[in-house]
């Protein structure tokens, strides 16, 4: 089976991102696939490269990046939710006259259409809120 993840909770404020990450690893270790994660509402904070947790805590951003690098899981971030909360790519920062950006690659800003595409592509879309 192929799964998609909708992550709507902020790291360190909600169990949602950690649960989604553990679920993804369990799915992959069971021989299934995770096509992608879509980060929406407060979940967009998982993509901020400015997040710096203490060294003895799991760095959620780095864990998502590792999942992408090891298993090719797409990491899409809702552009409207991200801009509203101050998370933006270099391109969007320039477009909006900002001097800094904080979106960590390989996270990508996309629209809600990407969530619909993920939902249609996968056998199951699991929400973590």
Question: Using alpha carbons only, what angle is made at residue 41 by residues 35 and 47, rounded to the nearest 5 degrees?
Answer: 60
Choose, from 8, 20, 60, 78, the residue flagged as catalytic.
78
Place of tokens 């690098």: 69
* Active-site residue flag, 78: yes
Structure tokens at 58: 């799991």
Which residues are registered as beta bridge partners of 126? 5
CB 118 within 8 A of CB 125: yes
* Inter-residue contact 35 to 2 (CB < 8 Å): yes
Q: Would you say 63 and 105 are in contact if contact means Cβ atoms under 8 Å apart? A: no
Instruction: Cite the active site residues.
Output: 78
């Amino acid at each position: 089976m192929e799964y998609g993840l909708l992550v709507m909770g902020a790291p360190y404020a909600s169990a949602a991102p950690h649960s989604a990450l553990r679920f993804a690893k369990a799915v992959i270790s069971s021989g299934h696939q995770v096509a992608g994660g879509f980060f929406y509402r407060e979940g967009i904070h998982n993509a901020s490269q400015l997040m710096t947790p203490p060294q003895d805590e799991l760095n959620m951003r780095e864990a998502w990046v590792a999942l992408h690098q090891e298993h090719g899981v797409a990491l899409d971030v809702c552009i409207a939710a991200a801009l509203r909360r101050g998370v933006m790519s270099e391109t969007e920062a320039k477009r909006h006259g900002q001097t800094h950006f904080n979106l960590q690659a390989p996270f990508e800003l996309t629209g809600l259409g990407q969530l619909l595409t993920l939902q249609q592509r996968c056998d199951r879309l699991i929400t973590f809120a």
